[in-house]
Chains A and B, each alone.
Chain A
Amino acid sequence: MSAVIQDLVNRPYEAGFVTPIEADVAPRGLSEETIRLISAKKREPDWLLEFRLQAYRHWLTMSEPKWPNVHYPPIDFQDIIYYAAPKPKKLKSMDEVDPELMRTFEKLGVPMNERAALAGVAVDVIFDSVSVATTYKQKLAEVGIIFCSISEAVASHPELVRKYLGSVVPPADNYYAALNSAVFTDGSFCFIPKGVKCPMDLSTYFRINTQDSGQFERTLIVAEEGAAVSYLEGCTAPKFDTNQLHAAVVELVALDHADIKYSTVQNWYAGDENGVGGIFNFVTKRGLCKGASSKISWTQVETGSAITWKYPSCVLLGDNSIGEFYSVALTNHRQQADTGTKMIHLGNNTRSRIISKGISAGHSNNSYRGLVKIGAKADNARNYSQCDSMLIGSRCGANTFPYIQVRNRSAQVEHEATTSKIGEDQLFYFASRGVGAEEAVSMIINGFCKDVFQQLPMEFAVEATKLLGLKLEGSVG
């Protein structure tokens, strides 16, 4: 690979800083005691403690999945801190938020204060494991929307949380989901009642802060009949040398005619050029199109993490329901990503669409893994999948693993895949027309990703474009 391309892909991580905030930290290690401690700290009802303990006991019987195309040293689950919280404070207004924290948000460009108001974004901020501030709750409450941390929801709307928690991703679903169900510390809860179209995009920024604290968010979004919501998740993490485990669970439930759009831009620390440090990201995201004509759409831009293991999926149970998955996954240096989706068609006339764009640079490895499953009773189901890979330089890899299981003859399943390369010749072609390598790469990447970027809310699309540029561009010379 030429020096130019190498420079391009070697720009340092720009969000790598640690905010010194006093943390209330649980001792390292995982046991029933740790779980009881978390539950007690959060003053949880008995049913939730029981939910956690059952998940934990099940987890003990499970083993880590070995099928993903990723490689990492064994994780010592007894060397992880499962609970860390900023010192509890009662916050009445934004002025009371720790200024250090505010500066962190500023550095990250989080639209939380007045900027949030102008942008029309309500932000439920996760800082380590406890929510610090929630804006716009009032405005949302007027239309009956509940948008708060999941801990708050457990206290204020226990019946709703109890009804839906674990209903899409059961605690025993997979190794990391079981772990999350046992030890999740916080996350977002969002409930859109019948007939309500959420008047603004809901947004959560996650940031891992305390060194070595595993993060186990739990997000639950429920859209009742005819409700609609667009939810944005953005993440970035400070630079550390030891790997940080992250195992989130996101559950979405859409009832009849409900519409949920979930967008993620993920920029966690990916490790240095040699792969040291960086986040291990093992996430279970699943949406249930429970009602007729419901729709769930996942859009993700994955640029960070040392290892990404993530398959936002849709279970299309309601007749005429629609599932969508739009993804850009970028890997560089020694990053490994095994990501994709599952579309499970159970209802009649269900439709799904998969658009996946994988970009690999450096020595990275990027795999798309997708499952399209058409159940025996799902008449006239349809799927369209398109998986495109782009290789930058010659030392990276891309794989596509499409699995298709069709049990109903009326199904129509289409799969297309392409692989393209950006090498010296493409960059020289641009250069010979007066265009430098940075601009060239950014134009190629944006062109390659446009089908996905189009799905993102406007500001998010701009952010995503900048982020990809940042990840691939560097001083050329």
Chain B
Amino acid sequence: MNLTLKVWRQEGPDAAGRFETYQANDVKDEMSFLEMLDNVNEALIEDGREPITFDSDCREGICGTCGLMINGQAHGPQKGTATCQLHMRKFTDGETIVIEPWRAAAFPVQKDLMVDRSALDAIIEAGGYISADTGAPRDANEILVPKPAADTAMDAAACIGCGACVAACPNGAGQLFTSAKLAHLNLLPQGQAERWKRTEDMVETMELFFGSCTNYGECQEACPKEIPIDFIALMNRDYLKSKIKNRKLIGQG
């Protein structure tokens, strides 16, 4: 198939960006979206034009490096699918595709389609861990974890940190990402000791960088791992509980 691409080009963080139009010809169904862009880049290089900068690494939907707005949708049209897993069979001959970077105040553009997502790391740094210095912890099987708790924690822990939830949100909020990590750790027995402090620290750090949540629910739609917004409710509840009863100070539930 032959496609027309309108791609956002921007020299650097402070440069003004613009759309440029390229032809992608002879695109095969079984190509991935990023392989299609690789081909466009090869052609640009042959022409002596600078290739389009975009991020990707694992190309199997697990590292969270890739991420494009495709026709206004974060990671494109296929549900539960990261950009790198999207295949061209989802598009039709003659189509025009608009490709933009993540657009969010917390994610400044570095170049073309590449953005800086270090704000997500800052949230983890604020408390997204269980303190357990390497040493001699108890035998693993001494900590019983009920299967439902382990399963739900795993559902939440499946977040790949791509930032699509933020990009899809009209407010650029970081709730889905933050709540996924909180649910992972707060649901496990090992995570109880730091539960309240973790919740307050992560939520408050999130608020420094990201917009506020007004329940649009776009985040859940865009998420390649289909992280449900229920986790946001859990986070809000834990945060309120902690604040109201000042649990952070007494360190208990």
Whether A associates with B in a native complex is no
